[in-house]
Each structure stands twice: as C-alpha cells, then as structure tokens.
Amino acid sequence: MSTTQKEGRSTNAGIVAAEDSRVATTVIAASNSLDPTIAPVTYRCTGVADQVQINASIVAAAAVGGGLIVLLEGQFNLAASIIGASAVSLLGMGVATILMAGAGIGHAISYTSVSNFSIGKMQVNTKTNASGGNCVDIDACISVLIFEVYIPDSDADGIETATTSGVCERITICNCTILGADGYGISTDAVYSLVYGNQIDNIALGGIFFWGNATYSIAANNLLSNIDQNGITCQGVSQSVIGNILDTITHIGISQGMLVSGNIIFTATSYSISMGTNTDDACTGNIVDNGGSHGIHLNGKRTACTGNSVTGCSGAGIHTSTSYISIVGNSCAENLNGIYVYSGTVSVVGNTCYHNTDSGIYTTEWGGGSVISSNNCSYNDKDGIYVLDSNHANYRLFITGNMCHSNDDNDTGNYSGIRISNCDRVGILNNYLLNNGYVGIDISDATCDGTICKGNIFSGNISGPVDDQGTGSIFNSIPFQFIKELNGAYLTASPTGIEIDAATEAALLQGHIPLDTQQVMAIRIWAVALANPPAQGGQMHLNITFNAGTPNEAYNTASKSWNIAAHDGEEEDYVANDVVTWHVVDSDVGNELSALVAGDKFEVIALHAAAASPDGETDAVFGSMQIEYV
C-alpha cells in the first residue's frame, strides 16, 4: 500500500473530474462608486455612456459561456441600451445601483432571443430623461429571472416580456417595485410567466398585463395601487390571478382569468372583477369593496363564483348575463343589488345578501333549469328576491328554501320577501318569509301564470303572507264534500251529488280551516253541468253563502261571513255533462277570506242563481269544494 493510501488521502486514479460550473464574474464600478478600484480599470465607468463598459463585460462573459456582471453602487448613465446575452446575468447592489437611461435611447436593459439569465437588485429609470423605452425589455427569451428591480419611473412599461422576435417562455418576475410607468407596470406575452410579490403603483396603462400568448401564467401576491386602466388583465387562456391586493384602480380591478382567487380589491371605478368569456373559469374567495360598477361580473359559461365577499359597489355585488353559472356561498352587502342575474341558466345557492339598496337577489329573463335556493336575503331596501320576466312552458325556475327577513328596510310598505312579475310557471317552495314590509310573497300581476306556492312559512309580514294577483296560481289545498241537500235531490247515479236546478234548492258543506293554514287564498267549488248556457260565451251563475267562526268566539260574525250573488263560473260555453267550477278569491268578498284563521269552523251553502243571458242559471250536480291556502 502506498503512503498516500495509508494516510487516507484519495488518489485520482479512476475518478472523473466534476464539470466546472463556475462562471466569469466581472465587477463594474460607477463614476461615483464608493471604491471604484474594486473593479478592473477597464470596467470603471466615467459617468458618460456607461453602457460601453457594461456591454463590453457582457460580450466578454458570453464569449466564455456566460457570467455574472456585478454593478457596484452608484449611478450608471446610459447613452444607449444595455444589450444582454445568453447565460449572462446582471446583479446590482440594491437600490444604490442606479441605471439612468438617457434621452431617446429606448429601453434601458434589452435582452433579445437569448436564454438562461437573471436581472436583479438594481434601480432603473427611463422617465427622468425621457428615453422613450421600457426599463427592462425581454423579447423572445427563455428561462429568465427578474427580481428586486426598483423602478421609480418608466417612460413606457416598467418590465416587458414580448414575442416580437419569437417565443418567450418561463419568465419569473418577482419582488420588484415599480412606482411609476407611462405604459404597463409589468407586461408579459411569455408562456409560463410567474409574476409574484411585486409592488406596483402609479401606472398609466395597467398594473399587470398578460397577453394572449402568456398561457399557463400566474400573477400572485402582488400589491397594486393607483392604476389607470385595469389593475390586472388576462387576455389568454389558463391564466390565474391569486392572492393579490389592488387599491384605487381607475377601470377594472381584475379583468378575466381562468382562476381568480383570494384577491382583495378596493375602489375600482368599473367592475372590481370581470371574468372572461372562456368556459369553466372560477372566481373564488375574493374580497371586493367600494366598486364603481358591479363587484364581480361573470361572462363565461360554466363559471363558478364561490365564497366571495362583495360590499359597497354602486352596481350589483355579483352580476351575470350568461348561462350555466354557479353562484354559491357568497356574501353581498351594501351594494345596489346583492346578486343580479340577467338571462341564462343559473344556480344561486347559499348566498347572503344583506342591506343592499335595491333587492337582495334581482333576476330577469332566466334560462331553463335555474334555481334560487338556500339564500339569506334580509334587510334590503327593496325585495329580498325579485324575479322579472321568466317565461317558460314548463317549470324551470324554482325558488326554494330561502330566508327573506325584514326587507323593505326603509318601511315604504311596497316591498316583499319574494316578488315575481311577468313570470310563468315559477315554483316558490319551502321558503321562510319574516317581517317584510309588504307581504311575504308578492305574485304581482296577472301575467304571472301557474305559480306554484307551497310549503312556505310566514310570520310578521306587514300586509300578510301572500298577495296573489297572478293567474292560475297553485297553493296547498284540501277538499271537502257537500253533505246535505237543502230542498234539492241527491243523485245516486253518475254524476252523483246534490242537484241544484230550481230557485229553492241548495247544497250544504261543512268543515274547518286546516290547522297549518297561514292565509286562505281562495275557495273553489266543483259541479257537473246538466244543461247548456242560453247564449254563446255564457257561464253558469251560482249564489254562495259562507259562515265561519273561531273556537271560543262568536260564530257567523260579519268579518267571517259573506254572501256572493250570481258568481260566474270559470268555464265559458259549457255543455251538459261538463265539469264546471267557481273560484272565489279575497277581492270577490271584500277581503274576508284573509280574515279566516287556522281552526275556524265554516259552512258553505251553494244556492240556485237565475240566468242572465248569455249566462245560465244554476243547473248542476254539486260534489265538492276545496280550500286553497298557504
């Protein structure tokens, strides 16, 4: 064994030497650096055309495969652009290293069609002397890191990565401070752009701009303020905006983006967030305050808008005008409307809409298959939920399981928990309507056809549970049979029942108001006609007497008893053996139906009424009556 082996020292035999990955490092001194002698004489700048020494060092480093150019503290005055090269990085000493671009030179730092370099820890200014260019301009470059660059002002963009000369990709821009730019703060068209941790203020065109080629790019944890135009714009696909803070934006806070999540936006003069027209985007967990228009505007199909908090916007908290949108679990307070849906198939589920100056949820022209469910819409100045112009041949909009509490917050007496207008075949089911200024549910006009209103709970609404001005509304119902003929005959052959066809004949029915009744909406009587009307357009007349009373109170009092004479049946031009009906609503009897309460005992007497052409006399077999109620 050799002496070397005995002493434990290694030998070189059979060992492949590691590749030397070191790069050339060149120090450049400014004319006012604290100790210029640190730099070689060749790289000591004079304060005039200092890019000459810097560019010479870049060329020299590139000639040996790359290197690091270290710029000492001090001001470097540029009479032309610094031109970068592949694998040659620029590193300053922080904000004490100042690159001052001269008048009309264009960009201060320019890298074109090169790769694998970084730029960091320096101050760059193209504004003071009006260079006309960007502080940092990267074109058709790959694998670039730009970090801790301080830009007090730029005559164009602060930092731009472009594709003018070819593909630009894998660009990271982080922890930079840009305090002024006549163009964009950061503008990138690079694939796989990562823009994070930057502070951007006082920008003319926009804070961060992702162009169409910048797919698979992310803007995260940036702070933007005092931005003219948009705060952050995403023009391409697969671009995400996550965890940024934006304040005082003169147009849209965040425009588009596949994923917009966890951002905070204060005081945007237009939309605070405007999602793009792409499909399957998501807007989640953002905080929006004091927007100049809608807080969040949804444009793309199948967009999910979840868990956002939106307050103080002059438009709606959340607005959409497209289809297949999910608006779930958001909080919208003190906006114009909490949520405003204009057309499209939309699910609005589990949101909280408080103290908005219009309605909590306002919708118009809904698409089929839509639902408003499990929302809390309370203390809004107008209606809790207002649905306008939803017309469909089938039931395609359901309003179910919502809490609407203390709406009409200004006590005008005009607004309700839920209001629908010009809507056909809407289902209003199992909602809670409490202490609203007008009624719990307002079916506000005759153009509302076939509304289903069942299973809702009402309490404390100023003008009662429901105002039904609709046509053919469907409520809870319970049937009762006519039990006794009064000067008439009971027919045992079909149609069976009590025959009324003469002036002295009548039929008696008795029952009680169901114990789960909150308001009686109507009564409807069924019979089978035995004759035709005397003329075209005729309906069958019927006299009706109704008496009722509450347990342990007087029976047949004026407030719960009424007579209605020659009441028209619903069917025109009936013929013998047709089913005929009479429908009695509150307005037909002086609003006395609404005086009935759960548990009231009642009796109904159907009496013969004379003909008055074209209407026919009572000539029918009476079988049953139903109470319609909520």
DSSP of 432-447? EEES-SS-SEEE-STT
**Region 73-102: what's the mean pLDDT?**
98
Q: What is the pLDDT of residues 198-208, one digit of tens each?
A: 999 999 999 99
Q: What is the pLDDT of residues 320-348, one digit of tens each?
A: 988 889 999 999 999 999 999 987 789 99
Element (H, E) at 217: strand 217-220
Domains of the chain in sequence order: 23-268 (2.160.20.10), 475-629 (2.60.120)
Q: What is the pLDDT of residues 494-548, one digit of tens each?
A: 999 999 999 999 999 999 999 999 999 999 999 999 999 999 999 999 999 999 9
Selection from 380, 306, 389, 372 nearest residue 338 by Cα: 380
- Least confident window among 17-26, 225-234, 340-349, 584-593: 17-26
Q: What is the mean pLDDT of the chain?
A: 93
Q: What pLDDT was estimated at residue 8?
A: 39
Cβ pair 208, 181 in contact under 8 A: no
Q: Which residues contact 333 (CB under 8 A, 6 or more apart)?
A: 310, 311, 317, 352, 353, 354, 355, 356
Q: What pLDDT was estimated at residue 395?
A: 64
Cβ pair 579, 600 in contact under 8 A: no
Bridge-partner residues for 615, per DSSP?
Answer: 612
pLDDT-based confidence at residue 16 (cuts at 50, 70, 90): very low
How far from 530 is each of 500, 524, 579, CA to CA, in Å? 10, 19, 10
DSSP state letter for 335: S
Helix, strand, coil content of the chain in percent (nearest 5): 5, 50, 45
Residue 345: CB atoms within 10 Å: 18
Q: What is the pLDDT of residues 141-196, one digit of tens each?
A: 999 999 999 999 999 999 999 999 999 999 999 999 999 999 999 999 999 999 99
Q: What is the pLDDT of residues 289-325, one digit of tens each?
A: 999 999 999 998 889 999 999 999 999 999 998 888 9
Cβ pair 129, 77 in contact under 8 A: no
Q: What is the pLDDT of residues 456-491, one digit of tens each?
A: 999 999 999 999 999 999 999 999 999 999 988 999
How far is residue 357's CA from residue 315's CA, in Å, rounded to a whole number? 10
Q: Which residues contact 471 (CB under 8 A, 6 or more apart)?
A: 446, 447, 448, 449, 450
How far is residue 604's CA from residue 562's CA, in Å, rounded to a whole number? 10
Share of the chain above pLDDT 70, in %: 95
Cβ pair 408, 381 in contact under 8 A: yes
Q: What is the pLDDT of residues 383-434, one digit of tens each?
A: 999 999 866 656 678 999 999 999 999 999 999 999 999 988 899 999 999 9
Residue with tokens 């075209």: 536
Q: What pLDDT was estimated at residue 389?
A: 82
- Least confident window among 19-28, 112-121, 605-614: 19-28
In 109-205, beta strands by DSSP E: 109-112, 115-125, 136-139, 142-153, 159-162, 169-174, 177-178, 184-188, 191-196, 199-203
Q: What pLDDT was estimated at residue 559?
A: 85
DSSP state letter for 555: B
Share of the chain above pLDDT 90, in %: 87
Q: What pLDDT was estimated at residue 345?
A: 86
How far is residue 94's CA from residue 97's CA, in Å, rounded to a whole number? 6
Burial 104-129 (b: 16+ CB within 10 A, else e): ebbbbbbbbebeebbbbbbbbbbbeb
Which tokens sit at 31? Answer: 């004319």
How far from 417 is each of 216, 351, 610, CA to CA, in Å? 45, 15, 44
Cβ pair 249, 271 in contact under 8 A: no
**Region 364-377: what's the mean pLDDT?**
87
